[in-house]
Amino acid sequence: MTTSVRRARRPASLPQRRTVPRRTVPRRTVSRRTVPGWAVAVAGVLGALVIAVTALLAGGQRHTDTTPVALPPPPTATVAEINGRQIPVREFALYLAQGRAATFAHFAKTYGVGDGPHFWTTPHGGTTPAAYLKRHALAEAAQDTVVLLLAHQHHLIADPGYDAFLATWTAENTRRRQAVAAHQVIYGPVQYTEANYFTYVLHNLDAGLEQVLAKDGTIPTPDSALRAYYRDHLDTFRQQEDRKGAITTPPFGEVAAQVRQSYVHDRYEAMTDRLARAARTTVAQAVYDSVPVH
């Protein structure tokens, strides 16, 4: 986010007093007049009052024009609670980072606007890009929370909380450093970033849950449903089988495993989408509003 820095307005400088050249008058023509003492005293009091009032007004002006900038919340502060799972600022920031490109694309396509000093705070169609991004980030958090809670319920993970994920991430990177130091073969990066490892964990949980939910009957896979799915998605299972490039659809029996996998995947996504939309979400509004978008 392009951050605008508030600058306190400085009190206007007092105009410089013009210096009028004094006439050179012969000393004998200047008559000295005696100023009464009470006049000097009154002038001094009035001068002090003017100085005091000026100082008070200047101080009040500085106080009015200087607006304190709200500090961002700490990474451990809770942005929202979804189905009882707390979403800390640190986790929420991942969703904000992931959604920035899509937000730019949406506002560029829909309203023809691009990045600029006030991009995130300028409203279009009744919302600002910052509000749009936060709303979608919260929806993504609900989606992943559903997956994490299901994984916990089916004993794929011991703890669905973000602190537990951070501990796992740290342990995995430590293991990889030690393996590299011992000249052992590792697959994937030497070190995962926090965002990449979170994506990796969720991807593996999705794959594991699809199998578990199909096995325990949460996602039923009757033969009639699989055959109907096959007929509705013939293009998905077409293969090129001859030298002339003719495209044919293999019989159901030849692609039954592929049909089942695709069917379970679609049913799983539909189920988790439905659960995410129905999730109980309580937003910590003050924290949510103060999370910076940039």
117-128: pLDDT as tens digits: 999 999 999 999
Question: pTM of the prediction?
Answer: 0.74
Q: What is the mean pLDDT of residues 160-173?
A: 98
Q: Do the Cβ atoms of 262 and 229 come closer than 8 Å?
A: yes
Sign of the Cα torsion 234, 235, 238, 243 reads positive
Question: Quick one: how far is CA 17 from the chain centroid?
Answer: 55
**In the predicted model, what is the mean pLDDT of the chain?**
82
Residue 11 confidence (pLDDT) above 90: no
For 197, other C-beta atoms within 10 Å of its C-beta total: 20
Exposure string for 94-133, b = 16+ CB within 10 A, e = fewer: bbbebbbeebbebbeeeeeeeeeeebbeeeeeeebbbebb
Q: Give the helix/strand (H/E) hosting 41.
A: helix 37-65
Q: Is residue 67 part of a domain?
A: no
Residue 208 confidence (pLDDT) above 90: yes
Q: What is the mean pLDDT of residues 5-14?
A: 36
Residue 52 confidence (pLDDT) above 50: no
CA distance 267 to 229: 11
What are the phi and psi torsion angles at 293 (to 5°)?
A: -120, 125
pLDDT at 142: 98
Q: Is residue 110 part of a domain?
A: yes
pLDDT at 25: 34
Q: Is residue 239 part of a domain?
A: no
Q: Do the Cβ atoms of 267 and 219 come closer than 8 Å?
A: yes
- For residue 238, what are the contacts with CB-CB under 8 A and spacing of at least 6? 247, 248, 249
pLDDT at 46: 41
Range of the domain at 123: 83-216+277-288
Q: What is the mean pLDDT of residues 192-210?
A: 98
pLDDT at 118: 93
Q: Give the helix/strand (H/E) hosting 200.
A: helix 194-215
pLDDT at 235: 86
User: For residue 156, what is the DSSP state?
Assistant: S
- The region of weakest confidence among 65-74, 92-101, 133-142, 167-176 is 65-74
Q: Is residue 59 part of a domain?
A: no
pLDDT at 242: 64
Q: Cα dist. 1→96, 195, 292 in Å?
A: 11, 19, 8
Q: Which amino acid is at 166?
A: L
Strand partners, 88: 78
Q: Is residue 115 part of a domain?
A: yes
For residue 240, give both structure tokens: 């090129």
Greater confidence, 241 or 129? Answer: 129
pLDDT at 51: 44
Work out how many domains the chain is built from and give that number.
Answer: 1
Q: Do the Cβ atoms of 76 and 273 come closer than 8 Å?
A: no
Q: Is residue 221 part of a domain?
A: no
pLDDT at 63: 42
Q: Is residue 201 part of a domain?
A: yes
Q: What is the mean pLDDT of residues 143-161?
A: 98
Q: How confident is the model at residue 256 (pLDDT cuts 50, 70, 90)?
A: very high
Residue 193 confidence (pLDDT) above 70: yes
CA distance 292 to 294: 6
The label of the residue with tokens 């009091």 reads 45
- The region of weakest confidence among 159-173, 229-243, 266-280 is 229-243
Residue 7 confidence (pLDDT) above 80: no
| Burial category of 49 from C-beta neighbours within 10 Å (exposed 0-12, middle 13-18, buried 19 and up) | exposed
pLDDT at 184: 97
Q: Is residue 134 part of a domain?
A: yes
